Structure 1
Amino acid sequence: MMTFAEKWDKPYPIISKSWMAHWQRLIGLLAFPVEILTIYTTNAIESLNMTRRTVLNNHRTFPTDESALKFVYLAFQNISKKRIGRPL
Structure 2
Amino acid sequence: MTFTASLPDATVQTCIVHLLRHSLDFVSYKDRKPVATALKDIYRATDAEAAEKALTAFEGSEWGKRYKAIGQSWRRAWSEVIPFFAFPGEVRKIVYTTNQIEALNSKLRRAVRARGHFPNDDAAMKLLFLILNRAEKEWKMAPREWAMAKVQFAILYGERFTKAMA
Q: Which runs of no fewer than 5 residues in structure 1 stay unpaired?
A: none
Identify unmatched segments of 5+ residues in structure 2: 1-56, 144-166
Identify which of 102, 109, 125 aligns with 1:53: 109
After TM superposition, the structure 1 = structure 2 runs for residues 71-86 of structure 1, keeping only pairs within 5 Å, are 71-86=127-142
Larger helix proportion of the pair? 2
Is 1:69 aligned to residue 125 of structure 2? yes
> Please, what TM-score do these two structures have when normalized by structure 2?
0.38
How many angstroms apart in 2 are the aligned matches of 1:77 and 1:38? 25
Distance 1:61 1:26, change over 3 A: closer
Offset at 1:51? 0.2
CA RMSD of the aligned region, Å?
Answer: 3.0
Deviations 1:7-29 (A, max 9, x none): 331xx3xx41662x678644213
- Structure 1 pair 8–59 and aligned structure 2 pair: CA distance change class (3 A): same
Judged with a 3 Å threshold, the aligned counterparts in structure 2 of structure 1 residues 62 and 23 are, in CA distance, closer, same or farther, namely closer
Q: Indicate the percent of aligned positions where both proteins have the same amino acid.
A: 23
Give the number of equivalent residue pairs: 79
Distance 1:28 1:48, change over 3 A: same
- 1-structure distance, mates of 2:124, 2:136: 18
Task: Give 1:2-81 correspondences, 5 Å limit.
Answer: 2-3=58-59, 6=68, 7-9=70-72, 12=73, 15-16=74-75, 19=78, 25-29=83-87, 31-33=88-90, 36-40=91-95, 41-81=97-137
